[in-house]
Amino acid sequence: MRHALLFSVFVIASCGLAYELIAGALSSYLLGDSVTQFSTVIGTYLFAMGVGSWLSKYITRDLIGRFIQIELMVGLLGGFSAVALFLVFTWLAAPFKLVLYLLVFGVGVLVGLEIPLVMRILKRELAFKDLVSQVLTFDYLGALAVSILFPLILAPHLGMVRTGLLFGVLNVAVALWALHLFREQLPARRALAVQSWTVFGLLVAGFAGAGQLTTLAETHLYADEIVYSETTPYQRLVVTRWRDDLRLFLNNNLQFSSHDEYRYHEALVHPGLASLPGARRVLVLGGGDGLAVREILKYPNVEAVTLVDLDPAMTDLFASAPPLVALNEGALKSERVKVINADALQWLEESHEYFDFIVIDFPDPANFALGKLYTSAFYRLLEKRLSARGLIVVQSTSPLYARQSFWCVVTTLEDVGFRTAPYHALVPSFGEWGYIIAGRQEFVPAAVNPVKTRFLTAETIPLLFNFPADMARVPAEVNRLNNQVLVRYFEQEWRKVVR
């Protein structure tokens, strides 16, 4: 009996941490700013556990029955927490944070009740010093196990919804095991059995229908038909279609519309590459959709393109799905293209290659994981991989809607020693969008465009480098690894836009 209860401690500790991780990850995915979300979720959860531990002293009778009921409540509330948060966000976006913290607080209070009750049940079996050391040992081991399994196996392969429901089932399994172990000591055994199997059935049904629940939420979230969706270890990929318009969303953020993506990618590639007739080797960081690569391959002088994108699911999708392959014109299958799935910063640290033109096509710096790819440290690594007269181009968010963010990137590049040439273009799906060309020498935009384009012409390229008054330069700090000021700028400015 003692060993069974100690193993139960291992299980309930795993479940409790899993619910905490799900809440933090899902709030980061839906709201952005992962540091803030995880910090507030963890703080609320730990405080709630303290409240639960304090409340446990008021449970004085039928400890085993109360423990079983608490397990059922934890399993039900925690198990369906991801479903509830996802549905609330898609249908009732306004109270999402309130629901998030109420759920976290509720689960935390219940988890805080569990361990004190287990210790009081076990005190008849163990001396106090052994009781504390063994219970806490199994508690910490359970937390360790789920902290490893969650990012490596559970979240990428089961998704948030199924992971939550799975741990809910485990909580109920502990309740059923306790019901079996203490069957002779439970006056309300039949009622507890009915409650346990009812909750178990609800969780199993939820697990079986998790795909439909997720589809229901996403159908409401995305206005158009979802033709592809996948949760990878790195992000949530969703492709939608409305008539002939394909759209890619990463973590609920629009990345392109096939109706006007050519404007974005032509502006990203051609002003810089058209000025480098001797360019032979090109590096693309990000851009796993292959659309920037499509534009680069228009230059016959380019002999090799290296594409480094973190997510293999992204590059595999755009190398295999016929509508997406048609959109990038089979760019990722070209013999001139080498695809590498790796973290861009780590890859740059290990690389010894030199490139004549480097395209930085990362998502916007909405969190610190992305913000590190816009820091002075990252740009110093880039400088080491750039040939003597080579150029870098960086997509740099909107100089109109995120003005200080845009000029922060300019300031950061200049802090490293680059000469910069900022410019912008209108992309209807996004509005005015900003780019920066950087190199060791001053860049002067030339009225030349040697390849076929739909948007740019030799005459319009120099015009992109003129900024109206409402997008003109403003002061901004350098974005460094130890402060990531760009993420703060970005969050503050885009929050005003979406209100």
Domain architecture of the chain: domains with CATH? 2-218 (1.20.1250), 223-255 (no CATH), 259-498 (3.40.50.150)
- In one-letter notation, the amino acid at residue 207 is F
Q: Are 283 and 358 in contact (CB under 8 A)?
A: yes
- Looking at 381-427, which runs of residues are DSSP E strands? 386-395, 419-427
Question: Which of 130, 361, 364, 470 is flagged as catalytic?
Answer: 361
Region 255-281 average pLDDT: 96
Asked whether the CA dihedral 64, 69, 73, 75 is positive or negative, the reply is positive
Q: pLDDT tens across 80-133, in order? A: 998 888 778 776 655 888 889 999 999 999 999 988 888 887 776 666 566 667
pLDDT value of residue 188: 81
**What is the chain's mean pLDDT, rounded?**
89
pLDDT at 348 over 70: yes
**Residue 231: both structure tokens together:** 């949760």
Burial of 277 (0-12, 13-18, 19+ CB in 10 A): exposed
pLDDT at 409 over 60: yes
Active-site residue 139, yes or no? no
Element at 296 (helix H, strand E): helix 291-296
Q: Helix, strand, coil shares of the chain as percentages rounded to 5?
A: 60, 15, 25
pLDDT value of residue 431: 93
Region 235-243 average pLDDT: 88
pLDDT at 309 over 90: yes
pLDDT value of residue 212: 75
Q: pLDDT tens across 481-491, in order? A: 888 899 989 98
pLDDT value of residue 1: 56
Please report which confidence band the pLDDT of residue 233 belongs to, taking 50, 70 and 90 as the band edges: confident
Portion of the chain with pLDDT greater than 90, in percent: 59
If we measure between CA atoms, which residue out of 239, 237, 244, 212 comes closest to residue 227? Answer: 239
Please report which confidence band the pLDDT of residue 221 belongs to, taking 50, 70 and 90 as the band edges: low
Lowest mean pLDDT among 221-235, 329-343, 378-392: 221-235
Q: pLDDT tens across 162-198, in order? A: 899 999 999 999 999 888 888 777 878 889 999 999 9
**Is residue 434 helix, strand or coil?**
strand
**Residue 280: both structure tokens together:** 């032979």
pLDDT value of residue 32: 63
**Is residue 225 helix, strand or coil?**
strand
Lowest mean pLDDT among 16-30, 72-86, 260-274, 286-300: 16-30
pLDDT value of residue 38: 82
Q: Are 245 and 323 in contact (CB under 8 A)?
A: no
Q: d(Cα 197, Cα 203) in Å, to the nearest integer?
A: 10
> Which phi and psi angles does 426 have, rounded to 5°?
-85, 120
Angle between helices 155-181 and 2-31 (to 10 degrees): 150
Lowest mean pLDDT among 197-206, 227-236, 397-406, 486-495: 227-236
pLDDT at 7 over 90: no
If we measure between CA atoms, which residue out of 32, 18, 13, 49 comes closest to residue 161? Answer: 18
pLDDT value of residue 141: 86
